[in-house]
Amino acid sequence: MTTKRTSRTAAKPVPGLRPHVLVLHGPNLNLLGSREPNHYGLATLDDINRALVSRGDSAGAQVETFQHNHEGDLIDCVHQAARDHVDFIVINPAGFTHTSVALRDALAATAIPFVEVHLSNIYARESFRHHSYFSDLAVGVVSGLGAHGYELALEYALRHLQNRTPHGSQKTEKAH
Ligand code: CA2
């Protein structure tokens, strides 16, 4: 089993104080940087995770990253996220995007807002990649921008969480 966890802070955050973002990577993404750079780029998963954790640190947020090759491990991770009061999830379900009702159900059950990320543009590839079991539940989807897509998703999460009121609702955006 491939299980990787990257976080500079081991301590559990006090709910409501420090934004807590979980980044979840699905199967085979541990191979990033070694094969198929035409689709997935040259960055390794460690490169991507380090950049995200570092951006979280600079914003005063806790960013945790996990990669699993097994559906059940990803589902367990989502359940644990709810128990840990994770505020936001950034997820690349990888191949499970197109197959996993079970992982979708886990995200729906926890109701943690999430952004779905794909390195490649799934709509410019084979037709079986055009359907996602996650997109209709996601706050948004980033597809085709390579590793930058994760950074954009994290920026969105941080902005979204900064706009929280102490009771967890969102401040309304000011019109300019
Ligand atoms: O574009 C994406 O991020 C995908 O989620 C990647 C999945 C694919 O099944 C989705 O349709 C789109 C595949 C991940 C496989 O990752 C590899 C990385 C390096 C080498 C080989 C596979």
Query: In angstroms, what is the span from residue 51 Cα to ligand 1's centroid?
Result: 19
In whole numbers, what is the pLDDT of the chain averaged over residues?
A: 89
Say whether pLDDT at 131 is over 80.
yes
β-strand pairing of 88-92 with 20-25: parallel
Q: How much distance in Å is there from the Cα of 28 to the middle of ligand 1?
A: 7
Tell me the pLDDT tens digit for each residue of 5-58.
554 443 344 455 799 999 999 999 999 998 888 899 899 999 999 999 999 999
Closest alpha carbon to 7 in 29, 23, 26: 23
Clarify whether 118 is annotated catalytic.
Answer: yes
For the chain, give percent helix, strand, coil, nearest 5: 40, 20, 45
Sequence-distant (6+) residues with CB within 8 A of 86 are 20, 21, 22, 64, 112
Residue 53: closest CA among 150, 146, 149? 150
Q: How confident is the model at residue 176 (pLDDT cuts 50, 70, 90)?
A: very low
Q: pLDDT digits over 110-125, tens only?
A: 999 999 999 999 999 9
Predicted TM-score of the model (pTM): 0.88
Pairing mode of beta strands 140-143, 88-92: unpaired
Q: Residues enclosing ligand 1, CB less than 6 A?
A: 28-29, 31-32, 35-36, 40, 92, 94-95, 97, 118-120, 122, 129
Per-residue pLDDT averaged across 78-89, rounded?
Answer: 98
